[in-house]
Amino acid sequence: MDTTTALQLCRFLHDASLMLLWGACAYLSLLVPRALADTVWRMVAKPFLLIAAIAVLTVLAVLPVTTANIGNGWSDALDAGMIHDVIFKTTVGAAWQAQALAAIVMAGALLLPEKRCRYGLTLGAGLGLASLSLTGHASMLEGWLKQVHRANDILHVLAGGGWLGALVPLLSTLRLLGRPECRAEAQLALRRFSNAGHVAVALVIVSGIVNTLLILKRLPTDWSSPYQMLLAVKIALVAVMAVLAIINRYVFVPWIGRNHDRALLALRLGSVAEIVIAIVVIALVAVFGMLEPV
């Protein structure tokens, strides 16, 4: 595997794990009633602890891979001098330091009791996502425009991660609607997800438009450009996700009272489809985020 492909893979695994952690843990910590959040967490804890481990390990892996990509290939991956220069003399290194701090927070959170673990993972994943703005195309700008772009990047990834990550515990919450002792809290959690989801989807769309205009200053219509082609595919997939979210909320949710089982099945399938599309979007960003934005 060449260094560029390895770096894209690391970026994909790291970004996807952070988004899933941020959205799921923030949803359970802030929007789901405590007793229900504890029940849902016990249902999803094992996969999310694995996701947290991936987020931490990819921080460790990305440094030698980045060093190899900047240098002369894999022979430079473990060169101490090269690694030192990357960490302390590049914007990529500054971002890595912030990501390493976020990884320490997440690793420490794994040692905490259940509720505090969720809070710690929320904080660590949020910091990790925010640190992504320190590199990328925002760093090509200067002055106040650079800061605006970085702030918009942070808003974009936090909103997108909130949307994606919350869908996973939402699937478990839908299962609990069938339990009489959980039904009232599950209905409240679903209403809160719906309200927050409207905001998250709107923020993803608006901040995505702003990012496109800041980078290209126009819509991505040049299909001869790999960057613009992949960006256009991403935009189309996000549009499909938004349509699915609208159908889930305004078609399937009202069905629950009339045809409970079929409505819940449709909601689960729609949510799974959104998750799959979002993972594809993250993979696309991991690739075209390293391309020249022309």
What would the pLDDT profile of 186-208 be if each residue is shown by its tens digit?
A: 889 988 998 898 899 999 999 99
pLDDT per position as a tens digit, 5-28: 999 999 999 999 999 999 999 999
What is the pLDDT averaged over residues 114-118? 84
- When the pLDDT of each residue in the chain is averaged and rounded to a whole number, the result is 88
Residue 256 clears pLDDT 80, i.e. is over it: no
DSSP assignments along the chain, one per residue:
--HHHHHHHHHHHHHHHHHHHHHHHHHHHHTS-HHHHHHHHHHHHHHHHHHHHHHHHHHHHHHHHHHHHHTTSGGGTT-HHHHHHHHHHSHHHHHHHHHHHHHHHHHHHTTS-HHHHHHHHHHHHHHHHHHGGGSGGGGGS-HHHHHHHHHHHHHHHHHHHHHHHHHHHHHHHHHHTTSTTTHHHHHHHHHHHHHHHHHHHHHHHHHHHHHHHHHTSS----TTSHHHHHHHHHHHHHHHHHHHHHHIIIIIHHHTTTSHHHHHHHHHHHHHHHHHHHHHHHHHHHHHTTS---
What is the pLDDT averaged over residues 51-55? 93
Domains identified in the chain and CATH numbers: 3-288 (1.20.1630)
Q: Which of the residue ranges 204-208, 255-259, 272-276 would you say has the lowest mean pLDDT?
A: 255-259
Residue 140 clears pLDDT 70, i.e. is over it: no
pLDDT per position as a tens digit, 66-103: 988 888 788 777 878 888 888 988 888 889 999 999 99
Q: Which of the residue ranges 36-50, 55-69, 136-150 would you say has the lowest mean pLDDT?
A: 136-150
